[in-house]
């Protein structure tokens, strides 16, 4: 039975999760070769970004693990990390330099990962499990900003494609492949998805997303199909209504950076191709008008600009009803910022706590966070649970356990 974690357990786990995000974890190649990624364990699929500290292609890598209490931790592979996962007597353990920390349980592979779309495309390459109810789809695994030399400086989507696309069979997806995969995932208990991806030439994403919505509706038979559309700021804001009319229940437009000067430098394509930073703000305001409070997300790559500027942005956006989400900047391989250093664990811990206070202050509920976010079992989910704000489908389980 699911058990709610105490505040202390949650904060200790959050700190460790932050350590693992920043320092990564090493796993011996022989141990990785032994893991059954075919039928048992969930592997990393590099459909968009490589979030490890190195480009590792010798074997597959596990995507995540949990501790005995059910708290989820990321696998950010780093062969030089002070953290390691080892195997003893058939069990796996997380260790630091001082010794063993706890037994780890690698994430399990959903059944749909071993199925194929009607054209033979492995569904594992189409949609990746974000948790037990949400899948994430990157419809394009490259970004057209690259042709203009305008990639976001923290982003390695194009480098990831060069390293992993052939190896893992990742390509652009069709609406039919996406809809068939969503149907297979929904048949085993998933019920929401986000569609995202790199910029495509001529910004034709609205037509594609409408085709996806139609195909999903046809193939699943669902009118409310649980979809979230992640888009770049459009020059014509009337297209935002089209996403709503197509049946998406939430929308995301990721600003990444708040400070107007740093925005121009770090996300030059988002500045130059999308009408400048002011148009990103206009877009988010319009999205709130169309989709409503708590149904619009903007993710930020945090740790590049000063924290005070990020929080100023979060204050403004959460007041509007936008779910402003901090993601950990990983100076990952192939990005222009490869080799740079992130802020400390304490820096991120403080940011997460202050962001959560803003969510509460602006009545952004757990359900709002879930519906707008392209992730599950995040630090914020655990914080909401600790406050007794459970997702509706978890509430009954917690009510029994707490």
Which positions lie near ligand SF4, rule CB under 6 A? 143, 145, 151-152, 155, 157, 198-199, 269-270
Query: In the complex, what is the shortest distance from the CB of residue 331 to ligand SF4, in angstroms, rounded to a whole number?
Result: 14
Shortest Cβ 70–ligand SF4 spacing (Å):
31
The smaller minimum CB distance to ligand SF4, of residues 252 and 345, is found at 252
d(CA 326, CA 20): 16
Which tokens belong to 112?
Answer: 């749909």
> Cβ 50 to ligand SF4, closest distance in Å?
12
- C-alpha angle 129-125-106 in degrees, rounded to nearest 5: 40
E strands, 262-363, in order: 296-302, 323-328
Q: Is the dihedral of CA 218, 221, 222, 226 positive or negative?
A: negative
- Tell me whether residue 111 or residue 273 sits nearer to ligand SF4 (CB atom): 273
- Conformation bin of residue 360: beta by default, left when phi > 0, alpha when psi is -120 to 50: alpha
CB 153 to ligand SF4: min, Å: 9
Report DSSP letters for 367-387, one per residue: HHHHHH-S-SS-HHHHHHHHT
Query: 281 or 383: whose CB is closer to ligand SF4?
Result: 281
Give 152 or 239: the residue with its C-beta nearer to ligand SF4: 152
Q: Which is nearer to ligand SF4, 151 or 377 (CB)?
A: 151
Q: What is the dihedral of CA 107, 111, 113, 114, to 10 degrees?
A: 130
Q: How near is the Cβ of 274 to ligand SF4 at its closest, in Å?
A: 9
Report in angstroms how near the CB of residue 366 gets to ligand SF4 at its nearest: 27
Would you say 183 or 270 has its CB closer to ligand SF4?
270
Burial 331-347 (b: 16+ CB within 10 A, else e): bbbbbebeeeebbebee
């Amino acid at each position: 039975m699911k058990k709610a974690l105490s505040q202390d357990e949650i904060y200790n786990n959050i700190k460790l999760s932050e350590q693992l995000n920043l320092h990564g974890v090493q796993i011996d190649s022989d141990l990785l070769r032994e893991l059954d990624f075919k039928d048992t364990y969930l592997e990393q699929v590099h459909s968009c970004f490589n979030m490890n500290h190195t480009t590792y292609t010798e074997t597959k890598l596990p995507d995540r693990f949990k501790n005995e209490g059910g708290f989820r931790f990321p696998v950010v592979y780093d062969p030089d990390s002070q953290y390691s996962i080892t195997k003893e007597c058939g069990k796996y353990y997380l260790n630091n330099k001082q010794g063993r920390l706890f037994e780890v349980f690698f994430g399990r592979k959903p059944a749909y990962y071993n199925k194929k779309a009607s054209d033979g495309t492995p569904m594992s390459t189409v949609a990746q499990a974000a948790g037990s109810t949400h899948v994430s789809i990157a419809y394009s695994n490259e970004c057209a900003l690259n042709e203009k030399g305008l990639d976001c400086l923290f982003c390695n989507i194009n480098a990831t494609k060069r390293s992993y696309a052939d190896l893992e069979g990742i390509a652009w997806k069709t609406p039919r492949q996406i809809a068939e995969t969503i149907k297979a995932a929904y048949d085993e208990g998933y019920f929401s998805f986000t569609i995202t991806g790199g910029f495509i030439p001529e910004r034709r994403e609205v037509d594609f997303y409408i085709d996806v919505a139609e195909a999903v509706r046809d193939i699943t038979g669902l009118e409310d199909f649980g979809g979230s559309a992640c888009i770049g700021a459009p020059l014509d804001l009337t297209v935002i209504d089209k996403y709503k009319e197509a049946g998406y229940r939430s929308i995301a437009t990721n600003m990444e950076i708040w400070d107007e000067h740093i925005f121009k430098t770090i996300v030059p394509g988002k500045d130059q191709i999308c009408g400048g930073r002011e148009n990103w703000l206009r877009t988010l305001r319009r999205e709130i008008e169309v989709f409503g409070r708590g149904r619009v997300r903007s993710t930020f790559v945090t740790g590049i600009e000063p924290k005070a500027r990020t929080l100023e942005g979060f204050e403004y956006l959460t007041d509007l009803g936008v779910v402003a989400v901090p993601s950990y900047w990983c100076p990952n391989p192939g990005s222009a910022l490869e080799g740079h250093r992130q802020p400390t664990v304490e820096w991120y811990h403080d940011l997460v706590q202050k962001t959560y206070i803003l969510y509460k202050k602006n009545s952004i509920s757990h359900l709002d966070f879930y519906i707008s976010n392209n992730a599950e079992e995040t630090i914020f989910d655990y914080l909401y649970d600790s406050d007794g704000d459970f997702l509706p489908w978890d509430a009954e389980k917690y009510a029994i356990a707490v």
